[in-house]
Amino acid sequence: MTEHTPTKPPYKMIAMLLAGAFIALLNNTLLNVALPSIMADFDISPATVQWLTTGYMLVNGILIPITAFLIQKFSVRGLFLTAMTLFTLGTALAGFSHGFPVLMAGRVIQASGSAIMMPLLMNVMLTSFPVEKRGSAMGIFGLVMVFAPAIGPTLSGWIVEHYEWRVLFYMMLPFAIVTLLLAVFRLYDNKQSVHTHLDVMSVILSSIGFGGILYGFSAAGDKGWASLEVYGTIVVGVVGLVLFITRQFQLEKPMLDFRIYKYPMFALSSAISLTVTMGMFGGMLLMPLYIQTVRGISPFHAGLLMLPGALIMGAMSPITGRLFDKFGGRVLAVIGLLITIVTSYFFTTLALDTSYTELIMLYSFRMFGMSMLMMPVMTNGLNQLPARMNPHGTAMNNTLNQVAGAVGSALLVTIMSTQTRIHAEELAGTIDPALLGQQAMVEGINDAFMVTVYVSIIALVLAFFMKRAKPAEDSNEELPGRAEDLTEAPNHS
């Protein structure tokens, strides 16, 4: 089968999709710092306010698996306009809310839009560029994917310190409206709606499976593993997921096709991405805990500390994309994982007096290593899929990122909490009681970082099996979302 790629990629379309994805990703990280302010404003408990982030994550986890079907059935224009409309309405509702239920509804509507954007953008990038140029293209995608969350904590920390939390939404609203209007008048493609059926039972089982697993692991950090709510939802989620996967193999046209795992490089990239994402998300959680809880550094300055590393990771994305096109993914992945292992090990030696400069340098170097991992590994796996399987590959990758982030964070927080209690008992009577809690927590964080070292070593071993992938032959010529269906807006001038 021949790969369908246009002679000239639809750059205007891609630019609009990148703008929408940037706004959605920025929104993902803006609200975390503002949760205490919202809690005080509405006089609600920590458990209640946490639903603003948990609910957002659950909606993403439930909707992203469905995007493979949506991308196959509808046009890029239709999907993007729907996603941006939902996101804009949700942003407006949240910004002008004067009660928690309205704010929660706004966040859910926001999530409904953002869940569509990332898989849609990834699919357009894969369809628009030939395999030999996909690294550079996905590098630009990686720049947006990393840069938006990078500036989120610092920006929101500064805004919350100087203004009310609603400004976070007021700030995003004009950009969302402008992006939506540009798409209305300038975003076109030739793809017609495809007649295909959505299996309702698959949607139900997927929602139970991914929703249960995501909620169970995200709640474990607060409620503990002994909670029926935690292990009960995880068990229900696992059962739902098994039934969902079984049903997909029984359907002629599955909602999410797990047959993509018969392609070895995609399966390998998924395994590496899972382990790397678990370590990265966990590290992004452990660092703020150490900086703010142990060291007492303000959220704004904590964001500033992590900003250089995130900016380096964003700046490196286009560079690693070009290097991927030239050398393939294995060299980049091995070098990146070696850097990640070394820097993660140094994070196992944190102390109460570790300098601010040392923290910035360590975190920045760790992010430099991570920059060689995420996009190259993911792109190499997607490159092996036949074109008709691209929507399923992008949906699967985005779903696994959600699951890996939740599982990794929950496990590392559990390890940190357990080890903190053990170290507190060991240190009792040997150090100043005023420092006991802080020192025990530092030791617990160090132990959790050691787990990320072990996880990264597993990923390193897997990386040595990577090979440069090319699209597999596929006798099925049905190519929803073909490259020739993607065109620029007609020129009316």
- pLDDT at residue 88, as a whole number: 95
Number of domains within the chain: 3
Considering the domain architecture, whether residues 48 and 83 belong to the same structural domain is answered as yes
Give pLDDT tens digits for 388-397: 888 888 888 8
Domain boundary among 186, 218, 239: 186
Phi/psi for 491 (5° steps) reads -90, 115
**In a domain? residue 450:** yes
- Average pLDDT (247-251) is 89
Which residue's entry shows tokens 């090990």?
345
- pLDDT at residue 431, as a whole number: 79
- pLDDT at residue 108, as a whole number: 92
Considering the domain architecture, whether residues 329 and 217 belong to the same structural domain is answered as no
Q: Nearest-CA neighbor of 124 among 6, 26, 23, 24? A: 6
In angstroms, the CA 207 to CA 202 distance is 8
- 3-class secondary-structure state, position 486: strand
**In a domain? residue 403:** yes
**In a domain? residue 191:** no
The dihedral over CA atoms of 293, 298, 302, 303, expressed in degrees to the nearest 10, equals: 130
- pLDDT at residue 459, as a whole number: 92
**In a domain? residue 5:** no
- pLDDT at residue 237, as a whole number: 92
- Average pLDDT (185-212) is 80
Considering the domain architecture, whether residues 277 and 395 belong to the same structural domain is answered as yes
Identify any residues that bridge with 189 across adjacent strands, giving them in sequence order.
486
Considering the domain architecture, whether residues 208 and 286 belong to the same structural domain is answered as no
**In a domain? residue 360:** yes
Amino acid identity for residue 373 in this structure: L
pTM for the predicted model, two decimal places? 0.80
- pLDDT at residue 468, as a whole number: 82
- Average pLDDT (272-283) is 80
**In a domain? residue 14:** yes
- pLDDT at residue 477, as a whole number: 46
Amino acid identity for residue 106 in this structure: G
CA 390 to chain centre: 18
Give pLDDT tens digits for 396-417: 888 888 888 778 877 888 888 8
**In a domain? residue 210:** yes
Considering the domain architecture, whether residues 293 and 433 belong to the same structural domain is answered as yes
Domain boundary among 205, 220, 252: 252
Considering the domain architecture, whether residues 421 and 462 belong to the same structural domain is answered as yes
- pLDDT at residue 169, as a whole number: 92
- pLDDT at residue 240, as a whole number: 92
Considering the domain architecture, whether residues 343 and 420 belong to the same structural domain is answered as yes
In angstroms, the CA 35 to CA 475 distance is 52
Instruction: State the pLDDT confidence band at 485, using cuts at 50, 70 and 90.
Output: low
Q: Answer whether 347's CB lies under 8 Å from 283's CB.
A: yes
Amino acid identity for residue 480 in this structure: P
- pLDDT at residue 91, as a whole number: 94
Is the model's pLDDT at 482 over the cut of 60?
A: no
Structure-token pair, residue 230? 């935690």
Considering the domain architecture, whether residues 73 and 157 belong to the same structural domain is answered as yes
Q: Nearest-CA neighbor of 410 among 240, 273, 233? A: 233
**In a domain? residue 240:** yes
Residue 82: give the domain boundaries.
10-186
Considering the domain architecture, whether residues 61 and 142 belong to the same structural domain is answered as yes
Domain boundary among 252, 276, 299: 252
Q: Answer whether 387's CB lies under 8 Å from 477's CB.
A: no
* H helix runs in 50-199, sequence order: 51-63, 67-73, 76-95, 100-128, 134-162, 167-186
Considering the domain architecture, whether residues 69 and 202 belong to the same structural domain is answered as no
- pLDDT at residue 356, as a whole number: 85
- pLDDT at residue 474, as a whole number: 59
- 3-class secondary-structure state, position 189: strand
In angstroms, the CA 203 to CA 188 distance is 29
Find the CATH number of the domain harbouring 335. 1.20.1250.20
| Residue 270 Cα distances to 15, 222, 479, angstroms | 27, 28, 23
Is the model's pLDDT at 491 over the cut of 70?
A: no
Instruction: State the pLDDT confidence band at 94, using cuts at 50, 70 and 90.
Output: very high
Considering the domain architecture, whether residues 248 and 268 belong to the same structural domain is answered as no
In angstroms, the CA 74 to CA 62 distance is 19
In angstroms, the CA 201 to CA 199 distance is 6
Instruction: State the pLDDT confidence band at 299, using cuts at 50, 70 and 90.
Output: confident
Considering the domain architecture, whether residues 277 and 421 belong to the same structural domain is answered as yes
Instruction: State the pLDDT confidence band at 197, using cuts at 50, 70 and 90.
Output: confident
- pLDDT at residue 493, as a whole number: 40
Determine which of 75-89, 138-152, 223-237, 376-390 has the lowest per-residue pLDDT on average: 138-152
Q: How many Cα atoms sit within 13 Å of 147 on the Cβ side? A: 16
Exposed e or buried b per residue across 52-70, where buried means at least 16 C-beta atoms within 10 angstroms of its C-beta = bbbbbbbbbbbbbbbbbbb
- pLDDT at residue 190, as a whole number: 64
Computed over every residue of the chain, the mean pLDDT equals 83
- pLDDT at residue 152, as a whole number: 79
